[in-house]
Amino acid sequence: MKNFTIIISTFNEEETIRECLDRVRASAPEAEIILIHGGRDRTAEEARDWGKERSDPIRVFNNYGDSGKAHAIKVGITLASYPIMLQFDADLQFAPEDIPRMIEPLMDGRADLVIGSRFMEGVDKSGYQSSFFRDKGNTFLNRYISFLAGQSISDVTTGMKSWNKKAIWDIDFKDNRFVYEMEIVVRGALKGYRIIQIPVIYLSRQGGASGHGTGLTEFFSIIRTGFLIALRATMIRCNLW
């Protein structure tokens, strides 16, 4: 497991970044790690210190023009040294131990895009505290967007994906914030790229704060977010975006 790039997009993740990097490196000892930080805390400094302490050639960038997670991923794609890439979230909702399984189908040429699914049979969600609104919203989106994409996609908004360089450059996702998670999947499916879905470990957020909030705030945030994702997916299908 070498000759691939792990892109870690962070936003104020100083609480979890060292554990994240420890586990990522243990799972992928020879991979290139690129960390793109767009927040205002000490995440980038902690990552640089981690690299110096271990003589690890991690590449850390402060994304001063940051306009969202997708923008950071675009920067990482541009900087990647290898043609196989994986995106990983520093909040540790996904397990770094799944990285080898996410890379293998690309390494052996069976896939162009790999989705780490939270909703397939075989997923380990024992460490996840369920959210009724979020789970129902994901169910609706997965069914609707599978219809638009012409194939069954079990998790269109997952934050754990991997791809090869040819596919991701051709997909050329437009969004700079959070809709890009769906956009990669839909554009990839419509362009005929081979998509493999793998059940992964999914946990409750280990640090930071959810962008959806809680309670009624979470409900209205999920409604708004789901509507925007569904709208954008429809526009992609109709060649309007």
| pLDDT value of residue 133 | 76
Strand order in the sheet with 84-89: 59-62, 30-37, 2-10, 84-89, 161-164, 113-117, 195-199
H-run or E-run covering 203 = strand 201-203
| pLDDT value of residue 211 | 53
| pLDDT value of residue 212 | 45
8 Å CB contact between 226 and 142: no
Rg (CA), the chain: 17
Tokens in use for 1?
A: 């497991």
- The domain ranges of the chain are 2-237
What count of residues does the chain have?
241
Give residue 189's identity as a one-letter amino acid code: A
What is the residue-level pLDDT of the chain in tens, covering all 241 positions?
A: 689 999 999 999 999 999 999 999 999 999 999 999 998 899 999 999 999 999 999 999 999 888 999 999 999 999 999 999 999 999 999 999 999 999 999 999 999 999 999 999 999 988 887 777 788 889 999 999 999 999 999 999 999 999 999 999 999 999 999 999 999 999 999 999 999 999 999 998 565 444 545 556 777 888 999 999 999 999 999 999 9
Fold (topology level) of 2-237: Spore Coat Polysaccharide Biosynthesis Protein SpsA; Chain A (3.90.550)
Question: Which pTM does this prediction carry?
Answer: 0.92
Compute CA distances 20 → 61, 127, 159, 161, 170, whole Å: 17, 16, 15, 17, 30
User: What is the four-CA torsion angle of 124, 130, 134, 135, rounded to 10 degrees?
Assistant: 60
| pLDDT value of residue 65 | 85
